[in-house]
Structure 1
Amino acid sequence: MSQAKLLTLVLIYNKPHILLGMKKRGFGVGRWNGFGGKVRSDETVEDAAKRELLEEANVTVSSLDRVGVLTFEFDGEPELLEVHVFKSQQYEGLPQESEEMRPQWFHEDCIPFDEMWPDDVLWYPLFLEGKKFRGHFKFKGHDTMLNYTISEEASALD
């Protein structure tokens, strides 16, 4: 395995509502997800998360809480994806559709897991409970999860 590619995922969560985006193009197209993407070489993980949120949903956040780190392995692919998951309750701006994402609010009891990545149903409960977590997921293609581990983390995630 090569070094992991760093990615971000931001979820705006104002209990009981969560802002998700329908991915319109690229990796994950046709699925509801949080907002995020690749970390550029000249930015921190948190700066990348803020930039991606602005680009994809037209909202800004002043602070983010890192709540999870998820590693994804795809059978036959040498590169791991390391996704840093952030939560924010405070944001500025009105969520607006971009070329890449169509934002929509969901009640926490109506999250569309059947239209999301298969791993989401496993770690979202920890997220919704305000817990920190770490997980590793191995996929065959983009729809079949071969195995996974997930754990609650008591301390800070780095």
Structure 2
Amino acid sequence: MQERSSGFQWPAEWTPDILATLMFVVRDGKILLIRKKRGIGAGKVNGPGGKFEPGETALQCVLREVREELRIDVTDAREMGVLNFSFTCGTIPEIRCHVFMASSFTGTPSETPEAEPFWSPVEEIPYDLMWQDDQHWLPAMLLGKRFQAFFTFEGDRMLDYSLETEEE
């Protein structure tokens, strides 16, 4: 399935400045989210994740970031999609983000200097506290759909997007 805002046109020669990851742990009808304390998106609710380190794969990156941000080890991560972000303001780098989902982990989610974790019922995800794009792709992912999406932002305001989903 394809969803677009009107007139969406992604730049043909686009390449990301940063490769990043996000993880969403879902179990027993709840999703593990964080209140991000610093960096891009500070103050927003999101999943844990972050930037690749040299030589890392997407999976290695997301597992490391979740361990650093929440002090847990995810045991069943699976990649669900890719998000591409372009920012018109010029102060935020272009980002390609690999998104993972899991249901199993060891340890107890704990607050760190980077993130404050909390569980939210899946039907009560606080989209109003998240990046605007999340409301477009996160529901599809929670239904088990894989996705690829492109978003253009001006600061934290979404200007345009394209989303393609498929059954897992």
AA of the residue aligned to 1:125: P
> Does structure 2 retain, via aligned residues, the 8 Å contact 1:59–1:91?
yes
How many residue pairs match? The answer is 154
What is the match of residue 122 of structure 1? 136
8 Å contact from structure 1 (residues 73, 81) kept in 2:
yes
Is 1:149 the counterpart of 2:159 in the alignment? Answer: no
- The CA distance in 2 between the partners of 1:154 and 1:115, in whole Å, is 28
1:43 corresponds to:
56
Answering whether residue 126 of structure 2 is matched by residue 136 of structure 1, we say no
Cα distance, 1:27 vs structure 2: 1.1
1:2–1:79 CA contact under 8 A, matched in 2? no
Cα deviations across residues 69-110 of structure 1 (Å, max 9, x unaligned)?
A: 000000143842000000010100000000010000000111
Matched, 1:108 2:122: yes
The structure that is strand-richer by fraction is 2
The alignment's TM-score, normalised by the length of structure 2, stands at: 0.87
Does the 8 A contact of 1:96 with 1:103 survive in 2?
Answer: yes
Cα 1:102–1:126 change in 2 (3 A) is same
1:4-153 matched pairs, under 5 angstroms: 4=16, 5-77=18-90, 79-142=93-156, 144-153=157-166
What CA distance in whole angstroms lies between the structure 1 residues aligned with 2:96 and 2:152?
Answer: 12
Alignment gaps of 5+ in structure 1: none
Deviation at 1:3, TM superposition (A): 3.2
- Give distance in 2, aligned partners of 1:123 and 1:3: 21
Judge conservation of contact 1:50–1:60 (CA < 8 Å) in 2: yes
Q: What one-letter code is carried by the residue in structure 1 that aligns with 2:140?
A: L
TM-score by length of 1: 0.92
